[in-house]
Amino acid sequence: MAVHAHPDDESVGTGGTLARYAAEGVRVVVVTCTGGEHGEIVVPGMDTPENRARLGVIRAAELARALAVLGVREHAFLGYRDSGMMGRPENDAPDSFWRADPDEAAGRLVRLVRRYRPDVVTTYNAFGGYGHPDHIGAHRVAVAAFERAGDPARYPEQLSGPDTAEPWTPAKLYETAFTLRGRERVIARLLERGFRPWWVAPDDETPEQRAERETWLIEMERHTGPITTSVDVGDFLEMKLRALAEHVSQIAADHPFRALTVEEWREFAPAEEYTLRESRIGARIPEDDLFAGLR
């Protein structure tokens, strides 16, 4: 079970992993906490008031197509609204994920864990990878559900009635580890092609912008745990890039993720990397499989 914040995150962060395990016959479930209603529409012709108003519907369709490309057949929304970037007024909307009652939100995921009974759960680190409130929220609900789903004293109302589910204890909890170290070659290649990744300083950066960017980079690195697990996704990068391309409104053809070829991704980043945050079955690290010890 991969717990994500918005439609597209499943492909960006874990697309290769999902495709690989689906191809191996593992039952793969993606949970998306919000509808991504406040994403930026990157295609100029698509960025109309009508489309902004129905962006959740557009992104649900893009997500369904991306999951089909990855071979993932099971998906659930947690049912919250996108909170927008940190500090934006959308954070305070009453139905935003950021404003959700933490126990209620965790309870929704507990219900899904009890229904799907995953052995392995993946999420983001406590900084949400890069500080987006919905990614931080996804981390919090995943950690809480991992702890609570097996405890019959938590959310006992889920254990009786028409939608009955038994308590279930997943074995392992992972955080995706998106590190910027070792990415110099990716950056060099992108700059060669005229793309400037968001973590690289623009030429006209002011001292204030520089301070802000550097603080943010330090936070990002500080929250990234040790890489315990590298999942080889070399054979699934083509599917991952095709899945990314299905998120038409969010990831333009000139987006850095799509500016490199499959061969280049295979050379620069042939694995998706994780930090094993908790294991109830012991672990011998480093690992090359999220299901190590479970097969």
Contact residues for Zn ion, defined by CB under 5 A: 5-6, 9
Query: Which residue of this chain has its Cβ atom nearest to Zn ion in the complex?
Result: 6
Task: State the minimum distance, in angstroms, from the CB of residue 247 to Zn ion.
Answer: 11
Task: State the minimum distance, in angstroms, from the CB of residue 38 to Zn ion.
Answer: 10
Task: State the minimum distance, in angstroms, from the CB of residue 160 to Zn ion.
Answer: 35
> Between residues 133 and 167, which has the closer beta carbon with respect to Zn ion?
133
> Between residues 172 and 247, which has the closer beta carbon with respect to Zn ion?
247
> Between residues 13 and 16, which has the closer beta carbon with respect to Zn ion?
13
Question: Is there a contact between 272 and 231 (Cβ–Cβ < 8 Å)?
Answer: yes
**In which order are the strands placed within the sheet that holds 120-123?**
74-80, 29-34, 2-4, 120-123, 172-176, 271-279, 229-232
Question: Is there a contact between 134 and 98 (Cβ–Cβ < 8 Å)?
Answer: yes
In angstroms, the CA 38 to CA 93 distance is 12
Task: State the minimum distance, in angstroms, from the CB of residue 125 to Zn ion.
Answer: 14
> Between residues 83 and 229, which has the closer beta carbon with respect to Zn ion?
83
The first and second tokens of residue 146, run together, are 């991992």
In angstroms, the CA 236 to CA 16 distance is 5
Question: Is there a contact between 236 and 137 (Cβ–Cβ < 8 Å)?
Answer: no
> Between residues 139 and 148, which has the closer beta carbon with respect to Zn ion?
139
Task: State the minimum distance, in angstroms, from the CB of residue 132 to Zn ion.
Answer: 6
Q: How many Cβ atoms are within 10 Å of 200's Cβ, its own excluded?
A: 15
